[in-house]
Chain A
């Protein structure tokens, strides 16, 4: 009889092996692992910096550079995680020949990899802020960390749903890229919800990313305020999506294997 502990242990070793495999196969060119960190860092940094150059100053008491950076980190974490997680099921298809490897292990290792990459990127961005002498005191670090973890769970859940859907209907991938493109413009990345008249808010606040971004700014600068967004919405959506995606997985994973 296999005990629960042994099962967890076996599962962990599979996720770990997949994680290493993903690292080895993804970054075995000359740039190596560094590219994984440098690319998003350079992208976020350059975009925020340029935006700061065009019109400097503050947005609702936040320096524009930092304002933009927070929005970009939120958006990027979500879209890259979604992309990587939703393709991971198909990417690892040959490995399901090993019965130890199940699609969920692929999902977890892909999500974990994206997550760790983003942690390092955030670290690099903090370092850049320090070098540029733009430091500030985070008002509510716990809220910020909580938001980051929630965003991660949120992205993986959506990724899992897309991965399952794409296993049955491959066209879903095309719709996915069409859906993620406008996110850049509707997720309060380079503007604040408070810049808009209040009667337009309902058109934007259905989008959890708006809440993530605005609350993250509030967590950094108390004076920014948290008008129109709520933490409970984030929690409700994330928990709801997590359960929905896991139950979808539970009823379909055996059929996903033979696809």
Chain B
């Protein structure tokens, strides 16, 4: 694509279903949508509305039945609790694995930065199964933040960290958002307010973009009847 054009993630004719005993369950049918990426976006929606599915399709860890996701940006993997972390391996080995598959320029440097960011001290060299869930989240988050992506996909991962770490995470996301975007899925509105500036609401297989986060949250928190009339 040419430079200067506002870049987006374009969903073209997206259809996604999951097989079930009662036939395929459609999450999206022929969805067309331009996903904005210039600011930090929150994906809001009820349980089962397809937030995580959309999220995973954006990250290309899952593929739609039909249609495609077009983008010219490099995207992180969906950073959720424990993605790609092997409990039997040490934090360092896990870090090196993630660094390797993402082709970081210098593994030792990457390793050192993750170790510092994750604040695990010398427990970095212990197997991950000895970590608490907060420590795991820190490790995953640190691994992701130290690779340069255009868009970071964050899935409730940061919510478990302690307040100090969350502050640091927010600072680094702010820092990144100068030239990168963040797409985030979370149920906790507090957290979304911390990180995001706009919202996309999923309802019944269709997406609506709200440039103002508060407007989006308002719509999201209102009950179903109101939501329908607003649309």
**Chain A residues in the interface with B (C-beta under 8 A):** 10, 13-14, 16-17, 20-21, 24-25, 28, 94-101, 254, 257-258
Contact = CB atoms under 8 A, between A and B. Distances in A.
A94 B82 contact: yes
Contact of B63 (A97, A100, A258): A258
Contacts of B127: 28
Q: Which of A13, A14, A24, A254 has the most chain B CB atoms closer than 10 A to its own CB? A: A24
Closest 7 A-B residue pairs measured CB to CB? A17-B100, A99-B60, A254-B63, A97-B83, A97-B61, A25-B88, A98-B77
A5 B84 CA distance: 26
Interface of B: 18, 56, 59-63, 77-78, 80, 82-84, 86, 88-89, 93, 97-98, 100-103, 127
10 contacts: A13-B100, A16-B100, A20-B97, A24-B88, A94-B83, A94-B84, A97-B83, A98-B77, A98-B83, A98-B102
Nearest to B60: A99
A13 B103 CA distance: 7
A16 B101 CA distance: 9
A97 B77 contact: yes
Contacts of A258: 18, 62-63
Contacts, number: 60
Contacts of A98: 61, 77, 83-84, 98, 101-102
Given A13-B103, A94-B82, A94-B84, A99 B59 contact: yes
Contact of A97 (B59, B88, B89): B59
A24 B62 contact: no
B103 A10 contact: yes
Nearest to A28: B88
A258 B52 CA distance: 12
A53 to B, nearest CB: 40
